[in-house]
Structure 1
Amino acid sequence: MTNPAGSFIWYELMTPDPEGAARFYGAVVGWTIAAHSDPGAPGGVDYRMIVRTGGGHAGGVLTLSADMIAGGARPGWLGYLYTPDVDAAIAAITADGGAVHMPAKDLPVGRMAMVADPQGAVFYVMAPIPPAGADNAAADAFSVTEAQHVRWNELATSDPDAAIAFYRKHFGWGQEGALDMGELGQYRFLQHGGDMIGAAMPLMEGIPAPTWTFYIGVDDIDRARGAVAANGGTITNEPMEIPGGEFAMNAIDPQGAVIGFVGPRKS
């Protein structure tokens, strides 16, 4: 894999209703979510691929079973960070106050584990196995500019200074520049691999615990806003202009997963 270590390489939607999610994200983003579980998924797990209009995978959908929900799983999005050594990453993360939510396991696509940073924001670490004959492949679920990819990764955390230091140490991220939000604190930009990949900010009212929010690229923010409302979603923050002239908004999908969208205003 040619992505640098510490890159976001995959995104996963956890939902109890993959068919409903397919209708929603198809209308809002243009994705196709497979009608059936991927043949390579572990036995008993319903895991479906998200496919972009032009081809390629945008991520995956994990169907939450009744047992998963009884065990505390809830609808939401999680990101995967690339590490060449999952076990070493787990040891380092836990030594610095992080936690393991799902122990490391091997799947046909690679070795992975679900962890949390010291403030409690959850993510996966993964050492992927490239497809046969594609050892130099690069994961492209994240793109700074392209629609139907995740374009921005936003961390809301109880301790931005400590969180930034954690991701800097373990994943090689940088932090330069910020927007002053007044009494709400600083919106601090994060860099990795030469790109601005997202930001870290303090927890705000309505966000009960540290968490990642991902912003999916759309072709037209106003069209996407209409599609969210028309397909059972809830707008939590109306489109607002961001640096560079595009617009971002926040929503909750019909199954309860928090998500963001970003793109141009064409009308």
Structure 2
Amino acid sequence: MTTTTKTQGQQTVTYRDYPVGTTVWQELEARSADGLADFYDAVLGWRLELDGDRGLFTRNGDVVAGVRIDPALDDGRIGWRCYLGADDLDAAVARAVAAGAVVQTRDKRIGIPGRAIELTDPFGAWFGLAEPDAGHAVIPSTELGRMSLVDPTNHDLGAEIRFQHALFPGQRVEALDHGIHFFRDEEGRALRGSYEVAEEARAFLPPHWLPWFNVVDQQRATEIAVERGGRVNTVDNELSFGLWGVVVDPAGGEFKVLQLTTDRL
């Protein structure tokens, strides 16, 4: 992790190459890679480079995400895993556990150098915490084909906010529209979101962490997803900062396609 220390008055401030609490890595776990290269190329403009059971997704030569293939993967593990960047990984994990999370895998191997630990949050949803090596964090962006945010989708917004505040103390939460909330740092950067599932949908939509990927046209992206072997859960949902839909890739990985109407979240 890149750090620079500067003295401001009586205080020493540490600057990192990623904002603490934002996503620093995202990785798809699937039983098979069949159809994934074609799907993600068509929907997000990604190239898949596989090496055995692991691989990287790149866009215009830049790494944007990873993939891990395991034919024996349980149903509950299929999908996208998002890792939040910590200032002190062990301390962040301790805070998460004290707030009700459960450690699942220590020393988790991910697609970038550094330390990572995988957990389930107090609501049973998988997520990760990580401390990437210097220069290797893959952080959110509003650029096309990149991840703009991760959204811990939940059944109890108040409980989710309390957990997030315990995990990363001092970060503020902002209520937006349609139940969407953003967690921001002191500089106002959107680090991650949160969304409470409507009561009528909770029976079939359990808590989960869902990445948002930027596209030119979310409606067209959902159409392409179907053409390339995926399916669509929802489309044409309007927010103050864009339109979004939810698609599922051929391996079962679910994510939001977001058509931004702003250059800063």
1:98 aligns with one of 65, 80, 101: 101
Q: Please state how far the C-alpha of 1:93 moved relative to its aligned partner.
A: 1.5
Q: Please state how far the C-alpha of 1:62 moved relative to its aligned partner.
A: 0.8
CA contact 2:55–2:68 (8 Å) conserved in 1: yes
Matched, 1:48 2:55: yes
2:221 aligned counterpart, secondary structure: helix
Identity rate, percent:
27
Structure 2 match to 1:187 = 180
Structure 1 match to 2:253 = 257
Structure 2 match to 1:134 = none
Matches within 5 A, 1:149-228: 149-172=146-169, 173-179=171-177, 181=178, 186-192=179-185, 194-204=188-198, 205=201, 207-228=204-225
2:223 aligned counterpart, secondary structure: helix
2:43 aligns with one of 28, 37, 57: 28
Matched, 1:4 2:19: yes
Matched, 1:57 2:63: yes
Structure 2 match to 1:142 = 140
| Inter-CA distance 26–199: structure 2 relative to 1 (3 Å threshold) | same
Structure 2 match to 1:231 = 228
Q: Please state how far the C-alpha of 1:264 moved relative to its aligned partner.
A: 5.5
Matches within 5 A, 1:79-90: 79-90=82-93
| Inter-CA distance 74–55: structure 2 relative to 1 (3 Å threshold) | same
Structure 2 distance, partners of 1:50, 1:75, is 17
> What is the aligned-residue RMSD (CA, Å)?
2.3
Q: Please state how far the C-alpha of 1:249 moved relative to its aligned partner.
A: 0.6
Structure 1 match to 2:124 = 120
CA contact 1:156–1:203 (8 Å) conserved in 2: yes
Structure 2 distance, partners of 1:216, 1:98, is 26
Q: How many pairs are equivalent? A: 240
> Scaled by the length of structure 2, what TM-score is found?
0.81
CA contact 2:92–2:168 (8 Å) conserved in 1: no
Q: Please state how far the C-alpha of 1:28 moved relative to its aligned partner.
A: 0.7
Q: Please state how far the C-alpha of 1:91 moved relative to its aligned partner.
A: 2.0
> Scaled by the length of structure 1, what TM-score is found?
0.81
Matched, 1:248 2:255: no
| Inter-CA distance 4–188: structure 2 relative to 1 (3 Å threshold) | closer
What do residues 73-95 of structure 1 show as CA deviations (whole Å, max 9, x unaligned)? Answer: 53211111111332222222112
The amino acid of 2:167's aligned partner reads: H
The amino acid of 2:123's aligned partner reads: Q
| Inter-CA distance 105–263: structure 2 relative to 1 (3 Å threshold) | closer
Structure 2 distance, partners of 1:47, 1:35, is 6
1:35 aligned counterpart, secondary structure: strand
Deviation above 3 Å: which 4+ runs of structure 1?
104-108
Runs of 5+ in structure 2 lacking a partner? 3-16
What do residues 119-162 of structure 1 show as CA deviations (whole Å, max 9, x unaligned)? Answer: 222211111122xxxxxx3734411x211111132221122112
Q: Please state how far the C-alpha of 1:9 moved relative to its aligned partner.
A: 0.6
Runs of 5+ in structure 1 lacking a partner? 38-45, 131-136
| Inter-CA distance 9–177: structure 2 relative to 1 (3 Å threshold) | same
CA contact 1:154–1:213 (8 Å) conserved in 2: yes
Q: Please state how far the C-alpha of 1:115 moved relative to its aligned partner.
A: 0.9
| Inter-CA distance 73–158: structure 2 relative to 1 (3 Å threshold) | closer
